[in-house]
Chains A and B, each alone.
Chain A
């Protein structure tokens, strides 16, 4: 028989654990001005630290969040960044969703290339963020907006 961890057999503790787990909280950060970028990356860093990521991972996550949040400010404000803890079997990770209702990206594969920018950027935001995270998806529809979903898993 599959041996469950002892805590699984104590539902009230499980409940408490889940409650405390959500305490520093995922959450939604509205992105409307450049100060919100700082807020989003501080929140991402705090949640990632809680999940148990190393210092290097914390900086990588915060940097990726900074890039995708800046894309919202640059091209499609206002938007939002949604942070949550995710599970894949026994693995834990952090999920960042950055979404906006802006003009959308005409050519996503072009936007994913190093050095491509339609604004004054360095053109490293999306491709760079992909390198910093484990999973990275961009969904965009012209006239409807863009959603970037990225995840990083604990080793």
Chain B
């Protein structure tokens, strides 16, 4: 399933709607890198609230995504990692590295706006 990507001012928001296969995740990563150029976006928000699992592949793809977006001159914020998912990620030994996270969409938009001022 393709993840819908919405444009909101200077930002793009990818809101994941269902469990994603590896191919879907790679598609999302590539779509977002392309969107940053197309819309001249300053920031990307990826909402993972509905993801039931963030395993090693998902984590690595999100890290790659953030790095690609950064190389295109924008910032990425991951929002909505559920507490249980966070717990499992820590147990598994997964790290998002220096990828920014926020509790929800509102917080992520606020952090972008603070930065813009």
Contact = CB atoms under 8 A, between A and B. Distances in A.
Interface of A: 34-35, 37-38, 41-42, 45, 55-56, 58-60, 62-63, 66-67, 70, 73, 114, 121-122, 124-125, 127-129, 131-132
Residue from the set A63, A121, A131 with the largest chain B CB neighbour count within 10 Å: A63
Interface of B: 19-23, 52-57, 59-60, 82, 84-85, 87-89, 91-94
17 contacts: A37-B21, A37-B22, A59-B52, A60-B84, A63-B54, A63-B88, A63-B89, A66-B55, A67-B56, A70-B22, A70-B56, A124-B56, A124-B92, A124-B93, A128-B94, A131-B91, A132-B88
Contacts of A37: 21-22
Contacts of B91: 60, 128, 131-132
A63 B84 CA distance: 11
Contacts of B84: 55-56, 58-60
B54 to A, nearest CB: 8
